[in-house]
Amino acid sequence: MQTLEFEVGPCANPDRSIGSGLVGVVGSGNLEVLFEPADLNDKVKFVIATSVHGFDETWHAVTRSCAERYRLANLVITINDAGATPAVVSLRLMQAVEEFRGGL
Amino acid sequence: MLEWKELCDQLFPQGHTVSAHGLVLHGEGRIGNQTIAVVGTTEHAAIGVDIALELSAAVIDIMNRQAGIPILMLVDTQGQQLSRRDELLGNSPFLAHLAKCFAVARTRGHQLLSVVYSEAVSGGFLSLGMIADETYAVPGAQIRVMALPAMSRITKLPLEELEALCRSSPILGPGAHNFVALGAVEEIWEGPLDQCLLTALAKKNNLDKRRELGASCGGRTGAARIAQLVREH
Amino acid sequence: MKMSPDFHWDTLARNTATRLKRGASHANGKVVAAENIAALLHAVIESGDRVCVEGNNQKHADFLASALSKMDANLVHDLHIIQSNLALASHLDVFERGVASRLDFCYSGDQGVRLARLIKAGKINVGAIHTYLELYGRYFMDLTPRVSLIAAQSADANGNLYTGPNTEDTPAVAEGTAFKNGIIIAQVNEIVDTVPRVDVPGDWVSYVVQAPKPHYIEPIFTRDPAQITETQILMAMMVIKGLYAPYQVTRLNHGIGFDTAAIELILPTYAESLGLRGKICNYMTVNPCPTLIPAIESGFVKGIHCAGSELGMEEYVRARPDVFFNGPDGSMRSNRVFCQIAGHYSDLFIGSTLQVDTQGNSSTATLNRITGFGGAPNFGSESRARRHVSYPWLKAGEESAQATGSTMPRGRKLVVQMVESFREKMSPTFTEKLDAWQLMEDLSLELPPVMVYGDDVTQIVTEEGIAHLHKCSNPQEREQAVRGVAGFTAVGLKRDQRAVDNLRDRGVIQRPEDIGVDVSLATRDLLAAKSMKDLVRWSGNLYQPPNRFRNW
Amino acid sequence: MSGAHKSFLERTARQRIADLLDADSFMEFLPPSERHFSPHLPVLGQPVAFDDGIVIGDGFLAGAKVLIAAQEPAFMGGSVGEIHGAKLTGLLERAVQQRPAAVLLLLDTGGVRLHEANAGLIAISEIQRAVFDVRQAGIPVIVLIGGSNGCYGGIGIVAKCCDHMIISEEGRLSVSGPEVIEAAKGVEEFDARDRALVWRTMGGKHRYLMGDADLIVPDDVNAFRDAAISLLGASRPLTLESVMQEHAALQDRMQRFSDCADATQIWQALGVADAKNVPLAEIPEFLEMSAHVRREEHA
């Protein structure tokens, strides 16, 4: 297992309305994503545990892109990954945003 | 490893009537000033529908004829019977039926003890052995879920990694001592077996204390804590 | 100079007659008992012969292939095997045992690793790796079979053959052999008084043998809807809304992966909701994939010609004679040659691949493994001899011409590659250089084994969007268009964001939102069938999936 | 094939609970944010799940308070590890204290999680003991089986220790899985790739016909919900009389079917008119076929 931890942001015009919750499941080619609000000066902190090593750059790119796209702020986003492709990661993050928007 | 006859002779120096019917053992033994009922298996029996039905018949017979006497299970099983016929007829209902018979016996005041005298493996051990109030083992007894090479094959984890983990943790490796550390086996009997049995009979514990035991042995600390958290949530 | 008057013009016929004479003692008329097959093969096959072993996608002459591989290499050796599909161990045993030494073929699938090993060990001298149509063509030029070992469902005593729905390559093999004085030996599942229909006339066939076991058939085109992912559904939505609808694609060829299965399964739901029934996907060339059932039943697909059949679909196909090409006996007749031709001249091909480079060249070749080509290159290439017009063909042609500045009005076939940026286990689909180049070096090939050439590709569809490569005016643009849909792969991360933005402004790259595809709708709820059982229900219990696909 | 139909099979543990209970009534115990995951998996380099693959909590079913647990099929085959098992045991113990109208167990598991095999096996034994305590308290434990893993291993025994079982035809119940039997005894004994054989031998319809499952439903969460509602408050006392009754029934089963090589023969012997068509029949049709032949032999 490899654990990645980094912060992104803050982005312009952050959406501070996103609350907490979990989407996805840890299963082959899938992942679970836990959103938890935290006071991070509008930044987003990602904590990623993954079973596939050597894709740090990919994770940075995917998460940064999603954070910008959905203007995420003040969230700790913790991910347990079982080999999800970036396509699946993006999809889960999108689902999380849709589900937890207005949750605060 | 002990033969069942030798085991019974040591457990019941005052005599016993335990006999084998195929792979199923039953009878009575005299110990101290009481008679206790004995059911069990031998020759590493694979417990399928047939043996489960015979064992449950014996347990029902005990309940009907000797209300409230302690029941001692003599455990020697390689696990559930692996066959198409047994699953077709239903290992689930037949093995569950055996467990239910023991559960009813417990509610009717029968003290339930078990002793692994040879080997005990997964499905068979669940219905004959672990269902007891307390489980014991004799020295040399084998208890396991699965041998490590098979486990390595199925989990696709390297054997060396599993072996290394076994050296530091009782959580997955074969061995009665691991089940002691996890709280599932009360103790490995040392010394005269009749004395050990008498001590066990005197405890009269019919609550499931295995998690607490596992936590106090340090082998299984999560289970007790989590179950408590759920109860008190 | 004219040949001398005593030159023989009938050597083949005379040689064949000698062989048949030798073979006669091992046969009862045309019928050979299974236990005599070794003796018969030794009687009629000679060292150095070109032997065609019928190896299709589905139907295999497995009994004959096995007998061939067990021949005495001291007596018969250096055979030249010409075979479209190498699928069974015996297809390579024949080389390992020294019976054969030379090979011309199309596709090797599961045997790819062993094939590569045998080539490296010098056991196989490969003439060429072909596409199907090329190899069939060569049956009628320089690779005419001397002996063909074919498979059929049944035969009568006169050698008339009934292939059942898996006709596949048999007509091409039989014609190429029979009309050049070759010998045809057919293994059949049963010998009957009267065959249900004559797929190969008896006077073409030298021998028939009832195999001890029915010929091997693999259900290779069955895709369980339960395994279709949200990402595949998203891409399928993009294909329908971004390609099929605007190009009005009515005649097309589908690949056989889960990606195209996802398209088929959302025709009755998503395409229906867009009002596209009757307007897209009317005619297809593809095997009778079970995932097509809902699209047929809901009135989308009106006609399908098949290269081969698919196990379990027999009764369903039989009950839909308006849709499939069924014989007077009621069962389907497939034909790989005609299906390939029909697909080649259709308006669109869409399929998946394993690797795509920055110019859109694609390959399924991976290191240490030769998979060959099969039919995808014939389907997935520009049909330059096409002359009849259709809306999608003209539209794609016009868009191409605009990009290149060509002044000659001409249509263009739509060739679409549908891939996720990463496959399972995080292996990237997009790569700077195809493994095919390395494979070329390793195996001393003269060309890198490319499945579909980039200049034939019009669109690449990924979860990130559609890249219309035919709208690019130069290689630099093509490269950015590919990078622009390559997601978070290394190839994608190396994009020039300004160039990609510019391509998007021009509609060369389209994101889901650009074509009105709502990503949040991409769930399995959109599938018309979510399970094998659903497919059976759609078929009115006519479809009978093989046991391995059932959960009931 | 669409619309209101919600496949139980397709849903995650959380979705199954949400769809099964009254809307928005579910309260999760030890939710993912509390991070009670397996301490044993990271040691072996395996991914963890914040809930260790089981969702537990309380909620309302048709207005009645219930406790509920659902195993997550995707996480390690729904397998039982130390934490996973303790969550279930704790929930059952809580039921004895709180006396809900029922405990619902949505089982979807291959059994013991081999990565923590001993702890998993012991946990299953503890779950079994706890189930008996809940039944003793007169609270029905209702098992629902309709997931992709089926219900196997020790949990396959525990499932039959509960009061009631609802199964879908896609559901499976057994102790040993087909692959395990094939690996141990050979492909002649059990061809695990023959899925039709697997379902005939272990699937929902066979278990229903044999009387091991009380209700069979189509693969639809709403159907499971309705079936569960019908069993609320219906406790089955576990007594000497009831196990003797069950014993007689199982003896009878052995006598009648012990020599049957295949489920189809059993169904024929049971008197199902069109036994060959059992696998293909939709549930309403199947219920008609089996109306007068099904066995009732449950303790």
Q: Work out the mean pLDDT of chain C and round it to a whole number.
A: 95
D220 touches chain C (CB under 8 A): no
CA distance A97 to chain C (A): 11
CA distance C230 to C277: 23
Q: How far apart (Å, rounded) are the C-alpha atoms in residues D225 and D23?
A: 12
pLDDT score, position C31: 97
Q: What is the mean pLDDT of residues B5-32?
A: 96
Res. C283: pLDDT tops 60? yes
Between CA C174 and CA C1 the distance in angstroms is: 35
Q: Give per-residue pLDDT as tens, D174-190.
A: 999 999 999 999 999 99
CA dist., res. B6 & res. B12, Å (int): 10
Distance CA C421, CA C491 (A): 10
Q: Is the peptide bond before C145 cis (omega within 30 degrees of 0)?
A: no
| Residue among D32, D48, D74 minimizing CB distance to A30 | D74
Domains, chain C, in order of start with CATH, read 13-217 (3.40.1080.10), 228-532 (3.40.1080.10)
The distance from CA C208 to its chain's CA centroid, rounded to whole angstroms, is 28
Distances (CA, A) of C316 to C335, C544, C545: 18, 8, 11
Q: Please tell me if residue A25 touches chain D, with a CB cutoff of 8 Å.
A: yes
Residues in chain A within 8 Å Cβ distance of D32? 22, 32, 34
Of B17, B24, B29, B12, nearest to B196 (Cα)? B12
Q: How many residues does chain B have?
A: 233
Q: Which of C238, D122, C80 is nearest to B209 (CA)?
A: D122
Q: How far is CA C357 from the centre of its chain?
A: 22
Q: Tokens standing for C94?
A: 């024949």
Which domains, and CATH codes, for chain A? 2-100 (3.30.230)
Which residue of D lies nearest to C227 if distances are taken between CA atoms?
A: D10
Of the candidates D7, D10, D195, the beta carbon closest to that of C551 is on D195
Q: Do C and A make contact, counting contact as 3+ CB pairs within 8 angstroms?
A: yes
- pLDDT at C474 > cutoff 70: yes
Residues sharing a CB contact under 8 Å with residue B194, sequence separation 6 or more, in sequence order: B10, B11, B12, B13, B31
Distance CA C10, CA C12 (A): 5
Residues whose CB is less than 8 angstroms from the CB of residue C547 and which lie 6 or more positions away in sequence, other chains included: D193, D194, D195, D196, D197
- Tell me how close the Cα of D45 comes to any Cα of chain A, in angstroms: 5
Contacts of A52 in chain D (CB under 8 A): none
Sign of CA dihedral C166, C172, C178, C182: negative
D221 close to D20: Cβ distance less than 8 angstroms: yes
D151-173 b/e (C-beta count within 10 Å ≥ 16 → b): bbbbbbbbbbbbbbbbbbbbbbb
| Mean predicted confidence (pLDDT) in D45-50 | 95
A5 near C CB under 8 A = no
- Confidence at D295, pLDDT banded by 50, 70, 90: low
**Cα C129 to Cα D13: distance, rounded to the nearest angstrom:** 50
- Tell me which of D24, D33, D38 to substitute to probe the interface with A (most A C-beta atoms closer than 10 Å): D33
Q: Is C471 exposed, middle or buried (0-12, 13-18, 19+ CB in 10 A)?
A: buried
Taking CB atoms and an 8 Å limit, are D170 and C529 in contact across chains? no
Beta-carbon contacts of residue C529 (< 8 Å; ≥ 6 apart): C225, C265, C291, C293, C294, C535, C537, C538, D1
Spell out a b/e string for B161-187, using b for 16 or more CB atoms within 10 Å of the CB, else e: ebeebbeebbbbbbbbebbbbbbbbbe
Domain definitions of chain B by residue range:
4-205
C542 CB near a chain D CB, below 8 Å? no
* Alpha-helix residue ranges (DSSP H) falling in D186-277: 195-202, 204-209, 221-230, 240-257, 263-270
Under 8 Å CB pairs connecting chains C and D tally to 43
Provide, as residue numbers in chain D, all residues whose Cβ is less than 8 Å from the Cβ of B126.
121, 124-125, 128, 154, 157
Q: Are C363 and C440 in contact (CB under 8 A)?
A: no
Residues B24-62: tens digit of each pLDDT: 999 999 998 999 999 999 999 999 999 999 999 999 999
Best of D28, D134, D175, D198 to mutate (most B CBs within 10 Å, chain B): D175
Percentage with pLDDT > 90 across chain B: 88
Contact, B91 vs B131, CB < 8 A? no
Within 8 A of B85 by CB-CB distance, chain D residues are 258, 261
Structure-token pair, residue B83: 């066959």
Q: How far is CA C302 from CA C270, C329, C541, in A?
A: 18, 21, 20
C366, C354 in Cβ contact below 8 A? yes
Q: N- to C-terminal Cα distance for chain C? A: 75
**Within 13 A of C330's CA, how many CA atoms are on the CB side?**
6
- Taking residues B218-229, what's their average pLDDT? 96
Q: What is the pTM of this model?
A: 0.93
Task: Give the distance from residue A76's alpha carbon to the nearest chain C alpha carbon, in angstroms.
Answer: 22
Rounded to whole angstroms, what are the CA distances from A40 to A15, A77, C374, C545? Answer: 13, 12, 56, 55
Write the DSSP symbol of residue C32. E
- Judged by CB atoms closer than 8 Å, whether chains meet at D159 and B96 is answered as yes
Q: Note the ipTM here.
A: 0.91
Angle value at C-alpha B152, between B147 and B154, nearest 5 degrees: 100
What parts of chain A have a pLDDT lower than 70?
103-104
Q: What is the mean pLDDT of chain B?
A: 95
Nearest chain C residue (CA) to D203: C552
User: Nearest Cβ partner of D122 from B83, B90, B182?
Assistant: B182
Query: D226 vs chain B: nearest CA distance in angstroms?
Result: 25
Tokens 């035991």 sit on residue: B213
Torsion on CA atoms C262, C264, C265, C269, rounded to nearest 10 = 120
The secondary structure element, H or E, covering residue A33 is strand A31-37
What is C483-496 written as a DSSP string? HTTSTTSHHHHT--
Domains and their CATH numbers in chain D: 13-173+213-236 (3.90.226.10)
Q: In chain D, which residues have their Cβ closer than 8 Å to the Cβ of C547?
A: 193-197
Written as six digits, the tokens of C395 are 């539209």
| pLDDT, tens digit (0-9, with 9 covering 90-100), for D261-278 | 999 999 999 999 889 999
| Alpha carbon B216 to chain centroid, angstroms | 21
Report the distance separating Cα B179 and Cα B210, nearest Å.
Answer: 10
In this structure, the number of other CB atoms found within 10 A of the CB of residue C136 comes to: 22
Taking CA–CA distances from A37, the nearest residue in chain D reads D33
Establish if A17 touches chain C: CB-CB under 8 angstroms. Answer: no
Smallest Cβ distance to B87: which of D119, D128, D176? Answer: D176
User: Does C269 reach chain D within 8 Å, measured CB to CB?
Assistant: yes
Segment C475-486 shows an average pLDDT of 98
Per-residue pLDDT at C522: 94
Q: Which residues of A touch C234 (CB under 8 A)?
A: 91
Q: What percent of chain C has pLDDT over 90?
A: 89
Q: Is A76 on the interface with D (CB under 8 A)?
A: no
Q: Which residues of C touch A90 (CB under 8 A)?
A: 463
State the sign of the Cα–Cα–Cα–Cα dihedral B156, B160, B164, B170: positive
Alpha carbons C313 and C236: distance in angstroms, whole number: 24
Site from D7, D200, D278, D285 to mutate, C interface, most C CB atoms within 10 angstroms: D7
pLDDT tier at B2 (50, 70, 90 boundaries)? confident
CB atoms within 10 A of CB D234: 13
N-term to C-term CA, chain A: 33
- The more confidently predicted of residues C116 and C498 is C498
- What is the predicted pLDDT for the residue at D293? 82
SS (H, E, C) B217-233: HCCCCHHHHHHHHHHHC
Per the CB < 8 A criterion, the answer to whether C143 and C104 are in contact is: yes
Judge contact between A75 and A18, C-beta under 8 A. Answer: yes
Indicate the residue of C426, C520, C522 with minimum beta-carbon distance to A85.
C426
Range list of β-strands (E), C215-306: 216-217, 251-254, 283-285, 303-305
Give SS3 for D240.
Answer: helix
The whole-angstrom distance between residue C521's C-alpha and the CA centroid of its chain comes to 32
Q: Measure Cα distances from D22 to D4, D65, D105 in Å.
A: 16, 10, 16
Residues 19-38 of D with CB under 8 A from A: 31-33
Q: What is the pLDDT of residue D3?
A: 43
pLDDT in tens, B81-126: 999 999 999 999 999 999 999 999 999 999 999 999 999 999 999 9
Q: Read off the amino acid at residue D242.
A: S
Distance, CA of C477 to CA of C472 (rounded, Å): 6
- Cβ of B227 and D93 within 8 Å? yes
Q: Can you tell me whether residue D179 is helix, strand or coil?
A: helix
Rounded Cα distance between D85 and C308, Å, is 51
Q: What is the CA radius of gyration of chain A?
A: 12
CB contact under 8 A, A22 and D46: no
Q: What is the pLDDT of residues D138-183, one digit of tens each?
A: 999 999 999 999 999 999 999 999 999 999 999 999 999 999 999 9
CATH of B4-205, one of 1.10.10.10, 3.90.226.10, 3.40.50.620, 3.40.190.10: 3.90.226.10
Q: What pLDDT digit, counting tens, does each position of C412-461 carry?
A: 999 999 999 999 888 999 999 999 999 888 888 889 999 999 999 999 99
What is the number of residues in chain D?
A: 299
Contact C231 A86 (CB under 8 A): no
Q: Under a CB-based contact definition with an 8 Å cutoff, are residues D17 and D8 in contact?
A: no
The yes-or-no verdict on residue D1 having pLDDT over 50 is no
* Residue C443: closest CA among C530, C367, C507: C367
Q: For C260-282, how does the pLDDT look when each residue is reduced to its tens digit (9 = 90+)?
A: 999 999 999 999 999 999 999 99
Q: What is the residue type of C234?
A: L
CB contact under 8 A, D195 and C530: no
- B156 contacts in D (CB within 8 Å)? none
